[in-house]
Amino acid sequence: MIRFDNVGLRYGSGPEILRDVTFHVLPGSFHFLTGPSGAGKTTLLRLLFMSLRPSRGLIFVFGENVTNLSASGRSALRRRIGIVFQDFRLLDHLTTWENVALPLRVMGKRESDYKEDVTDLLRWVGLGDRINAYPEILSGGEKQRAAIARAVIGRPELLLADEPTGNVDPAIGNRLLRLFVELNRLGTSVIIATHDYGLMEQLDAPRLVLFDGHLQMR
Amino acid sequence: MTFLSDIRDYPWTSLLTGLLPARIVNLLPARFQTRAAQIVPSASIAGNALTVVIAIMSFLACLTAGAVYMVNQSANAWVNDIASEITVELDPINTADIEKKMTLVSLFLAKQQGITRVKPLTADDSAKLLEPWLGQTSALAALPIPRLIAVEIDRSNPPDIQLIKTALTQNFEGVTLDDHRRWQAEIKTVTRTAALGGLVVLSLVAAATIAVIVSATRSAMASNREIIEVLHFVGAKERFISREFERHFLGLGVRAGLMGALAAALAFLLLPLMMHMLGGGVVTEAETSRLIGSGELDVWGYLLCLLVALAVAGICMITSRLGVIRVLKSYA
């Protein structure tokens, strides 16, 4: 599903942030991506999500070499990936419901076909009473859950999450992890970038550990 | 085909609601009240200033197109008029009895094949033709004003003008025939020049509109950069993103274009009155009405204004689309 071959990345003429990163992600797998702050977790996720191009090496996403992929090709692959950003990236002028429904709207689906699904998912992540609220009045944890709901609403084949439990209390964090596990059981591959050891302890999943620009599988 | 499907898929009901104030939209049936929020908020696209600028462009374009159409219509009517007539001119100098000569020439012309009507103009008629330029003066009677015979020809079976011309010259001294060809050619030149001038003005208006929209598109994209990024992350294609922007610019173009067209239509409605009030004397009035007729625009003229307004809206939409796609490619 995902293959990195000797991938290196540097910004401009600066030092390499990632060096010789090589790993495979199989369909239906579950991985934690961890490492100290500044180790390059977010950068690796951005490479996976094709919002950065590697300085060297090859990246294959769903079997396609993404190095020279067209804008249209990238869009098609991104529709198969859900991503949760650390800073949520919710649109302030849309309600919670509209933010979560955005990927389906972009796919050209009719509102009547997904109306109930979006509402059900929002209830499931504990935002049933915040459906018509705008992001600016949501708490950090609520924004996090809305961002996760937006990432999973399209039933992606691959879910990437950057510190998804960073802004929620342990109870909600556990609930979100259960959501990720449930999605994984349904066939979605999941990569969660986190340095929350408590979260990682709850699940026996392989860990991709980034340290000093190198990646190790543990 | 993409363009046709864009037109088919365009949320026309949202355009309608965009044209009306919110309190009126709330009274419309539910199907006209769009529920899906705008992904790119209209407030971030363009202010009233841009609408006013595009409305002025549309007004100028409609005014130009209408004026060229009016001149063209007037010239066509004039050409048709003079093409079905020839004029025979009699020089009064060295002619003892000009009235007798008028009668003889008229009778000669009436016998020719292809001539349907011969109308000799009296000395008063000839003087009246000069009145706009020389004024009402008794001095005209003392002048050797050429006498004219208006000859109507059968356009389906026209006479041999050259043959008549030769026969007149041979039989009568001081008689010339004017088949109006020189005038027709001059009118056509004036019409072509007016059309060319109009085309130049329209091109300048279109170029200015494009420049304004390109600038507004770039500015809109810069202020909505975060939204564009999120759309990219959720898998939106360039076409989807450009559509989100271009629908705003199409709405703006339709609103501003119609405003400009309405203002131009009002100007054309008031033109005959203005011509009368600001006529500037008999000669100016005569020359102006010769150039643009009565100053009234017919139904086709008003439809032309509507077409120009829609073209302005189309320019807004297509320019913004191309602008968005170009900027998106630079992001990649």
Q: Is residue B26 part of a domain?
A: no
* Contacts by residues B239-245 (CB-CB < 8 Å, ≥ 24 positions apart): B240/A106, B241/B324, B241/B328, B242/B320, B242/B321, B242/B324, B242/B325, B242/B328, B243/B6, B243/B321, B244/B38, B244/B39, B244/B40, B245/B40, B245/B45, B245/B217, B245/B220, B245/B221, B245/B320, B245/B321, B245/B324
Q: Is residue B125 part of a domain?
A: yes
Q: How far apart are the C-alpha atoms of A153 and A98, rounded to whole Å? A: 12
Residues B263, B320, single domain; the answer is yes
Here the tokens at position B117 are 């009507």
Position A133 scores a pLDDT of 94
- The highest-confidence range among A171-185, B89-103, B199-213, by mean pLDDT, is B199-213
Could you tell me the CA-to-CA distances from B302 to A88, A193, B263 in Å, in that order?
53, 65, 12
Position B66 scores a pLDDT of 92
**Weakest mean pLDDT among A124-138, A188-202, B166-180, B286-300:** B286-300
Domain count of chain B? 2
Write the residue in B227, B234, B237 that is nearest to A103 by C-beta: B234
For a pLDDT cut of 70, what percent of chain B falls above it?
A: 82
Measure B256 CA to nearest chain A CA, in Å: 26
Measure B39 CA to nearest chain A CA, in Å: 8
Mean per-residue pLDDT over chain B, rounded: 82
Q: Is residue B50 part of a domain?
A: yes
Residues B59, B201, single domain; the answer is yes
* Contacts by residues A25-28 (CB-CB < 8 Å, ≥ 24 positions apart): A25/A1, A25/A158, A25/A189, A25/A191, A26/A1, A26/A189, A27/A1, A27/A157, A27/A187, A27/A189, A28/A184, A28/A187, A28/A188, A28/A189
Residues B59, B101, single domain; the answer is no
| Beta-bridge partners for A82 | A159
Query: By CA distance, what is B227's nearest residue in A?
Result: A91
B298, B73 in Cβ contact below 8 A? yes
Burial class of residue B111 (count of CB atoms within 10 Å of its CB; 0-12, 13-18, 19+): exposed
Taking residues A59-87, report their average pLDDT. Answer: 90
Of the residues B8, B233, B238, B327, the best mutation for testing chain A's interface (the one with the most A CB atoms within 10 Å of its CB) is: B233
Question: Does B5 have pLDDT greater than 90?
Answer: no
Q: How far apart are the C-alpha atoms of A26 and B162, rounded to whole Å? A: 96
Cβ–Cβ below 8 Å for B226 and A89: yes
Residues B115, B200, single domain; the answer is no
Which helix (DSSP H) or strand (DSSP E) does residue B330 occupy?
A: helix B299-331
Taking residues B211-216, report their average pLDDT. Answer: 92
Residues B288, B312, single domain; the answer is yes
Could you tell me the CA-to-CA distances from A103 to A78, B11, B64 in Å, in that order?
10, 19, 47
Q: Is residue B159 part of a domain?
A: yes
Q: Is residue B127 part of a domain?
A: yes
Cβ–Cβ below 8 Å for B238 and A102: no
Measure B234 CA to nearest chain A CA, in Å: 5
Taking residues A87-109, report their average pLDDT. Answer: 93
Taking residues A94-118, report their average pLDDT. Answer: 93
Residues B100, B123, single domain; the answer is yes
Position A188 scores a pLDDT of 92
Give all strands (DSSP E) within chain A, no chain letters. 2-10, 16-25, 30-34, 56-61, 64-65, 81-84, 158-162, 189-193, 207-211, 214-217
Cβ–Cβ below 8 Å for B235 and A107: yes
Measure A103 CA to nearest chain B CA, in Å: 5
Position A59 scores a pLDDT of 94
Position B169 scores a pLDDT of 86
Cβ–Cβ below 8 Å for B226 and A150: no
Residues B253, B321, single domain; the answer is yes
Cβ–Cβ below 8 Å for B329 and A89: no
Cβ–Cβ below 8 Å for A71 and B37: no
Answer with the one of B173, B197, B213 that is the final residue of a domain.
Answer: B173
Domain that holds residue B294: 37-78+185-331
Q: How far apart are the C-alpha atoms of A73 and B117, rounded to whole Å? A: 78
> Most distant CA pair in chain B: distance in Å?
100
Q: Name the residue with higher pLDDT: B173 or B275.
A: B173
Query: By CA distance, what is B37's nearest residue in A?
Result: A94
Q: How far apart are the C-alpha atoms of B310 and B312, rounded to whole Å? A: 5
**Weakest mean pLDDT among B36-40, B227-231, B249-253, B294-298:** B294-298
Here the tokens at position B122 are 């009296």
Q: How many CB atoms lie within 10 A of CB A30?
A: 20
- Complex prediction ipTM: 0.87
Cβ–Cβ below 8 Å for A107 and B226: no
Q: How far apart are the C-alpha atoms of B249 and B240, rounded to whole Å? A: 15
Radius of gyration of chain B from Cα atoms? Answer: 31
pLDDT band at A95; cut points 50, 70, 90: very high
- A–B interface: beta-carbon pairs under 8 A: 60
Residues B197, B289, single domain; the answer is yes
Q: How far apart are the C-alpha atoms of A133 and A127, rounded to whole Å? A: 10
Contacts of A103 in chain B (CB under 8 A): 234-235
Position B62 scores a pLDDT of 95
Answer with the one of B173, B199, B230 that is the final residue of a domain.
Answer: B173
Question: Does A28 have pLDDT greater than 70?
Answer: yes
Residues B150, B99, single domain; the answer is yes
B148, B126 in Cβ contact below 8 A? yes
Here the tokens at position B257 are 């274009």
pLDDT band at B305; cut points 50, 70, 90: very high
Tell me phi and psi for residue A138, to 5 degrees. Answer: -85, 150
Taking residues A86-115, report their average pLDDT. Answer: 92
Query: By CA distance, what is A53's nearest residue in B?
Result: B332
Could you tell me the CA-to-CA distances from B320 to A158, B16, B38, B317, B332 in Å, in that order?
34, 20, 17, 5, 19
Residues of A with CB under 8 A from a CB of B: 49, 51, 71-72, 75-76, 78-79, 81, 83, 85, 89, 91, 93-95, 98, 102-103, 105-107, 111, 150, 154
Q: Is residue B215 part of a domain?
A: yes
Residues B134, B262, single domain; the answer is no
pLDDT band at B287; cut points 50, 70, 90: low
Q: Is residue B201 part of a domain?
A: yes
Q: Is residue B103 part of a domain?
A: yes
Write the residue in A75, A83, A91 that is nearest to B227 by C-beta: A91
Query: By CA distance, what is B41's nearest residue in A?
Result: A93
Residues B199, B222, single domain; the answer is yes
- The CA angle A89-A92-A96, to the nearest 5 degrees, is 85
Answer with the one of B148, B173, B198 that is the final residue of a domain.
Answer: B173
Position B11 scores a pLDDT of 57
Here the tokens at position B106 are 């008229």
Residues B200, B58, single domain; the answer is yes
Position B171 scores a pLDDT of 85
Contacts of A93 in chain B (CB under 8 A): 37-38, 41
Q: How far apart are the C-alpha atoms of B281 and B264, rounded to whole Å? A: 26
Mean per-residue pLDDT over chain A, rounded: 90
Here the tokens at position B91 are 């020089």
Which helix (DSSP H) or strand (DSSP E) does residue B187 occupy?
A: helix B181-223
B217, B323 in Cβ contact below 8 A? yes
Q: How far apart are the C-alpha atoms of B143 and B89, rounded to whole Å? A: 16
What pTM was estimated for this model as a whole?
Answer: 0.72
Determine the 3-state secondary structure of B223 from DSSP: helix
Measure B218 CA to nearest chain A CA, in Å: 20
**Weakest mean pLDDT among A9-18, A22-31, B86-95:** B86-95
